[in-house]
Structure 1
Amino acid sequence: MDILTKIIADKYKEIDLKKSLIPTKQLEASVLFDRATFSLAKALRSSQTGIIAEHKRRSPSKGTINQNTNVGQLAIAYQKAGVCGMSVLTDIKYFGGSLEDLQLARASVAMPLLRKEFIIDEYQILEAKAHGADVILLIAAVLSKDEIKTLSELAKSLDLDVLLEVHNEAELNKSIMPSLDMLGVNNRNLKTFNVNLDTSKSLSKLIPDDFVKVSESGISTIEAIRDLKQYGYQGFLIGECFMKTANPGRSAMEFIQKL
C-alpha cells in the first residue's frame, strides 16, 4: 500500500470519529462560520511575487521538519514578509498539524489561509469554514470527477476559494470545472515523493487562463520561480524551504525581498 492510499484509509476513520463527536450543526454555529473570507486567487492575481508560505512540522517523506514554531507567531511573520497567503497543514497523524493550528493562525492575521488537508468529505469543508479557512485544497488523485464537483461547489457556496491539485494530464482533464479558482500542479509524485519542476512546465499549457496557476512542491530558489512565471504561474506554494530553517518568517522575508 503506497503512502497516499494509507493516508486516505486513515482519513475515513478519522472523519467517522469526528462526525460522532461534533455534529455539523455545531460547526455551523462557530463564530468563524459567518465571517467574510479573503480570496487567495485575487491576492495571487494582483501580486508580483505569488508566494504562499506553509506551516508544516513534519511529512512522511522528510520526517521532522520543524517542531519549534508557534503557528500564530509564524503567521504574523509570514504576513510581515509579504506572502499572499499561508497554507496550514491540519493532518495530525502524518504531518503533525491540527485544526487548532488553523484557528490560531486565523486569530493572528488578516490574510488568506489555506486548509492543507486530504479532503474527501463535505464534513471537512464545514470544519475548514468553522476554523477560519479561506481556501480549501482538493487533490484530484484521491477524488472522482463527481466528488470534485460536489466538494468544490459546497466550498464555493460557503465563499471559500478552491485550489485543485493535480499531478498529471489525466487528473487535470477530469478536474477542470467552473467551481475551481486555482489549479495547482504538484511537482512531487505522491507515490514516490520524487520532485520534478518539469511537471509544472509540461502541464501549464493545458490549464485554461480562467484559473490561477499554482506550482507546488520542490520550489526553493528565486530562479525556479522566475522560470515558472514564464509558463504562466502566478502562485508558488513553498513549505520546506522556509520551515527547515531556524526562523521561517525571516527566511520568507529574505526570499521575497530577493524576488
Structure 2
Amino acid sequence: MTILDKIVVDKHKEVDLKKSIISIKQLEQFPLFENDTVSLANQLRHSNSGIIAEHKRRSPSKSVINQSLNVQDIASGYETAGVCGMSVLTDGKYFGGSLDDLIIARASCHLPLLRKEFIIDPYQIVEAKAHGADVILLIAAILTRDDIKTFSELAKSLNLDVLLEVHNEEELHKSIMPSLDMLGVNNRNLKTFEVSTQTSKDLSTLIPNDFVKVSESGISSVETIKDLKTYGYQGFLIGENFMKTDNPGKSATQFINQIES
C-alpha cells in the first residue's frame, strides 16, 4: 500500500466522521459560504509570474518543513509579494494542516485560496466553500472519470475554480472535460517520490489550450519557471521553496522580482 493509498483510506474515515457531526445543510449556513469567489485561473492568465504559493507545515516525503510560522503572517506576506494565489493544506494527519488554516488565510488576505486536500467526497467541496476557498484540487490518481465529472460540476455550481492534478498520460486522458479550469502536472512520482520537471514538459502538448496549465512540485529556480513557460505553463505551485525559509513572504517577493526583472 502506497502513502497515497493510506491517505485515501484515512480520508474516507475522516469524512464519514465529519458528516456525522456537521451536515451539508449546516455547512451551507456558514457565513463564508456566501462569499464571492475570485478566479485563480483568471489571475494566472494575466500574470507575469504565475506563482501559487503554498502554506505547508510538513509532508510525508519531507517530514517537518516549517512548524513555527503562523498562517496570518504567511498569507499577508504572500499577498504583499504579489503571488497569484495561495494554496492551503488542510489535511491534518499527513501534512499538519486544518480548515482553521483556511479560515485564517481568508481573513488575512484577498488572494484566491486553493484548498489543497485529498477530495474523495462531494461533502469536502461544500466544506471548502464554507471555509472560504475559491479553488479546489482534484487528484486524478484517486478518482474515477465519473468522480471527476461529478465533483468538478458541483464545484462550478458553487463558483469554485477547479484544478485537476495528473501525474501521467493515462490520468490526463481520463480527466479532460469542460468543467475544469486548470490542469496541473505534478512532477513528483507518487510511488518513488522522485521529482522531475520533465513530467510537465512531456505532458504539455497533450493539454488543450482551453485550460490553464499548472506545473507542481520541484520548482525552486527562476530558470525552471522560464523554461516551463516555453511549454505553455502559466501557473507554478511552489511550497517548500518558500516555506523552508524564516520569512516565506520575503522569499516569494525576491523570487517574483527575479522572474519579472
TM-score using structure 1 length: 0.99
Q: CA deviation at 1:192?
A: 1.3
CA distance in 2, matches of 1:253, 1:68: 20
In structure 1, the partner of 2:23 is 23
Q: CA deviation at 1:236?
A: 0.1
Q: Deviations over 1:93-140 (max 9, x none)?
A: 000000000000001111100000000100000110000000000000
Q: CA deviation at 1:75?
A: 0.4
Give 1:1-259 correspondences, 5 Å limit: 1-259=1-259
CA distance in 1, matches of 2:69, 2:131: 20
CA distance in 2, matches of 1:110, 1:210: 26
CA distance in 1, matches of 2:106, 2:54: 14
Matched residue type, 1:190: L
CA distance in 2, matches of 1:191, 1:112: 30
Q: Deviations over 1:156-199 (max 9, x none)?
A: 00000000000000000000000000000000011211101000
Q: CA deviation at 1:246?
A: 1.2
CA distance in 1, matches of 2:26, 2:75: 27
Q: Deviations over 1:22-58 (max 9, x none)?
A: 1111100010101110000000000000000000000
CA distance in 1, matches of 2:137, 2:215: 13
Unaligned runs of 5+ in 2: none
Q: CA deviation at 1:73?
A: 1.3
TM-score using structure 2 length: 0.99
CA distance in 1, matches of 2:73, 2:241: 18
Task: Give the paired residue count.
Answer: 259
Q: CA deviation at 1:69?
A: 1.1
Matched residue type, 2:159: D
